[in-house]
């Protein structure tokens, strides 16, 4: 007794026919794709304004933070100046420098046409490098050039 008959296998077309047996080509731009494109454009347009506002607000926040830091620095400078103004020695120094005040039993001199006090250190450093005879000669020339007020 021969064995059971072999199971029927579906008939496959020959290899040459397999390559040509493709489903008919569909249109690349379907109505579903058009709806999808419209929906994506609507989403992009609906997000454009909020994103632009977010960026503008972040820029404004950064500017306000910079302004706040600048104001805080100015506040600390003013507080340091207020602390100095509470010091009597600083007030006395400012009265002498700016207002030319003298303390009682003190002899003060004001040189008219002289250099301001804050430039004296620079001038003395420049003068210290020159010999004494050159300084003497330049002072004679300077005195000769200045008009007499008498």
pLDDT digits (tens, 9 = 90+) for 73-126: 999 999 999 999 999 999 988 888 888 888 888 888 877 777 666 655 555 656
Model-level pTM?
0.41
Choose among 70, 115, 116: nearest CA to 97: 116
> Looking up tokens 């805080």, which residue turns up?
72
146 backbone dihedrals φ, ψ, rounded to 5°: -75, 135
Greater pLDDT, 14 or 92: 92
Distance separating alpha carbons of residues 67 and 73, to the nearest angstrom: 10
Read off the pLDDT band of 2 (50, 70, 90).
low
Mean pLDDT check: name the lowest of 19-28, 40-49, 81-90, 125-134.
19-28
Q: Which residues contact 146 (CB under 8 A, 6 or more apart)?
A: 113
- Cβ atoms of 100 and 110 closer than 8 Å: yes
Distance separating alpha carbons of residues 73 and 145, to the nearest angstrom: 49
Average confidence (pLDDT) over 6-33: 64
- Give the CA count within 13 Å in the CB-facing half-sphere of 91: 6
Distance separating alpha carbons of residues 102 and 117, to the nearest angstrom: 15
């Amino acid at each position: 007794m021969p064995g059971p008959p072999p199971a029927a296998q579906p008939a496959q077309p020959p290899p040459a026919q397999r390559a040509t047996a493709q489903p008919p080509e569909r249109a690349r731009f379907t109505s579903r794709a058009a709806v999808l494109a419209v929906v994506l454009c609507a989403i992009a347009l609906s997000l454009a304004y909020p994103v632009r506002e977010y960026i503008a607000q972040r820029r404004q926040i950064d500017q306000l933070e910079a302004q706040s830091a600048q104001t805080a620095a100015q506040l600390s400078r003013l507080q340091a100046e207020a602390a100095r103004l509470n010091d009597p020695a600083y007030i006395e120094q400012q009265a002498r420098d700016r207002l030319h005040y003298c303390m009682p039993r003190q002899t003060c001199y004001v040189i008219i046409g002289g250099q301001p006090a804050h430039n004296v250190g620079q001038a003395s450093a420049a003068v210290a490098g020159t010999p004494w005879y050159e300084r003497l000669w330049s002072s004679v020339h300077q005195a000769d050039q200045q008009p007499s007020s008498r």
